[in-house]
């Protein structure tokens, strides 16, 4: 209850945990929701949903599952850094099947029997794999093979792959051509525009009990949208900090100066830009040592008995938070760098594959030219 009572809110409006009660339908979310519902209801084979981190993919999945509750039986896989057998085990376990002492062939047989039983009961099993961009090619191929399980008139298992944008790059790999051909519906969850960012902000306040909890001046959402790039998760972070700042000031009317101050504070620890950019910049080890030395010097300086102790504690807490933000930011930057390197690697593999095909085609053409030349020479000699 840090600021809820002050703003007459029933709960915190900007929690990062996905909550279907706060679901906001932007244009891109509405389109993705329609695609997902159609794909599942019509048993359209593979459905692909992509979006940046924080774009609302998980919230969207929760919403569609609530809509179809009672019509489908679902299994969800979140941990995707596993081998094919472990993946099958997690799928079966989430469908409620026993996986103890089961080999791969046993897992496949158990799953097939379960799917057939659900078909007989006219229930539709749906498998949702989150963070699918982390699946190995072998695991993706295993998922494709599961789509071969079918009855006379329909597939026994509907599969939804959910992941970050690089998932689209991954499935373009030559060895995943058969999987790519089975994806009948693909949708990308784009960011909110500036108008939707403002609507989203006040929508969450309304869901929490008070849409008029705070007022923001003209130009505020232009700044917020520019910083967050329209990603709901980052808008939530900014919204939470804005309410905290307003609560600290004891004023529900936010001004531009306070908003800029909050955005600047967040820039120390939150990645607002792309996966390899951070508005906080790069902080090296020397900078961290400098900050630590500053802390040590402050602690070592004498302070007067009345106010010194409190001042030192406040500064220690402030600098401790700064260091935590620095470490968090560096970790995010490193994770983003790994993602970008993987994209480059996949692109290079694609280029190499295309070059290999071109070279093979040229070899075939040269061979054909030689054959025609030999034939022509033979005719002339005769």
- pLDDT number for residue 274: 38
- pLDDT number for residue 297: 46
Extract the tokens encoding 88: 């099958």
Condensed to tens digits (0 to 9), the pLDDT of residues 206-221 reads: 999 999 999 999 999 9
- 234-247 burial string, b = 16+ CB within 10 Å, else e? bbbbbbbbbbebbb
For residue 70, is it left (φ>0), alpha (ψ between -120 and 50) or beta? left
How far apart (Å, rounded) are the C-alpha atoms in residues 121 and 330? 52
List Cα–Cα distances, 122 to 16, 67, 71, 116, in angstroms: 36, 18, 9, 10
- pLDDT number for residue 313: 61
C-beta separation of 329 from 265 below 8 A? no
- pLDDT number for residue 332: 66
- pLDDT number for residue 327: 66
How far apart (Å, rounded) are the C-alpha atoms in residues 281 and 275? 13
C-beta separation of 104 from 88 below 8 A? yes
Rounded to two decimals, what is the model's pTM? 0.68
Condensed to tens digits (0 to 9), the pLDDT of residues 94-125 reads: 999 999 999 999 999 999 999 999 999 989 99
Q: What is the CA radius of gyration of the chain?
A: 28
* 3-class DSSP assignment, residue 241: helix
- pLDDT number for residue 47: 95
Reading the chain (382 residues) residue by residue, the pLDDT tens digits are: 578 999 999 999 999 988 889 999 999 999 999 999 999 998 888 999 999 999 999 999 999 999 998 889 999 998 889 999 999 999 999 999 999 999 999 999 999 999 999 999 989 999 999 999 999 999 999 999 999 888 878 889 999 999 999 999 999 999 999 999 999 999 999 999 999 999 999 999 999 999 999 999 999 999 999 999 999 999 999 999 999 999 988 999 999 999 999 998 887 655 454 333 333 333 344 444 444 444 444 444 444 445 445 555 655 565 566 556 556 656 766 777 777 787 787 777 778 777 777 788 777 878 777 777 777 777 777 6
List Cα–Cα distances, 253 to 1, 212, 260, in angstroms: 20, 10, 14
How crowded is the C-beta side of 363, counted as CA atoms within 13 Å? 6
Q: What is the mean pLDDT of the chain?
A: 83
Residue entry with tokens 């690089």: 166
């Amino acid at each position: 209850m840090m600021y809820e009572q002050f703003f007459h809110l029933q709960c915190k409006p900007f929690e990062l945990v996905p909550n279907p009660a706060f679901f906001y339908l932007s244009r891109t979310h509405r389109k993705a929701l329609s695609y997902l519902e159609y794909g599942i209801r019509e048993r359209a084979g593979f459905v692909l949903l992509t979006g940046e981190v924080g774009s609302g993919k998980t919230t969207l999945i929760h919403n569609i599952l609530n809509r179809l509750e009672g019509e489908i039986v679902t299994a969800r896989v979140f941990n995707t850094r596993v081998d094919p057998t472990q993946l099958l085990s997690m799928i079966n376990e989430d469908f409620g099947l026993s996986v103890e002492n089961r080999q791969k062939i046993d897992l496949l047989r158990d799953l097939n029997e379960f799917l057939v039983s659900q078909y007989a009961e006219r229930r539709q099993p749906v498998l949702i794999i989150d963070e699918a961009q982390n699946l190995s090619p072998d695991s993706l191929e295993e998922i494709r093979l599961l789509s071969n399980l079918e009855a006379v008139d329909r597939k026994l298992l509907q599969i939804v792959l959910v992941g970050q944008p690089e998932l689209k790059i991954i499935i373009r790999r030559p060895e995943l051509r058969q999987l790519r051909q089975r994806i009948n519906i693909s949708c990308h969850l784009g960011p909110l525009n500036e108008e939707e960012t403002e609507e989203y902000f006040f929508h969450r306040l309304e869901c929490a009990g008070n849409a008029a909890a705070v007022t923001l001046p003209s130009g505020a959402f232009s700044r917020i949208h520019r910083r967050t790039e329209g990603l709901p998760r980052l808008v939530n972070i900014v919204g939470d900090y804005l309410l905290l700042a307003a609560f600290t000031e004891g004023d529900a009317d936010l001004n531009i100066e306070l908003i800029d101050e909050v955005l600047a504070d967040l820039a120390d620890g939150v990645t607002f830009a792309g996966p390899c950019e951070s508005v906080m910049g790069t902080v090296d080890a020397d900078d961290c040592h400098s900050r630590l030395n500053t802390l040590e010097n402050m602690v070592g300086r004498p302070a007067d008995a009345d106010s010194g102790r409190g001042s030192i504690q406040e500064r220690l807490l402030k600098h401790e938070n700064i260091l935590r933000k620095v470490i968090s930011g560096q970790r995010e930057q490193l994770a983003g760098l790994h993602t970008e390197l993987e994209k480059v690697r996949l692109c290079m593999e694609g280029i190499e594959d295309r070059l290999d095909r071109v070279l093979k085609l040229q070899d075939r053409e040269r061979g054909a030219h030689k054959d025609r030349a030999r034939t022509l020479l033979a005719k002339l000699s005769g």
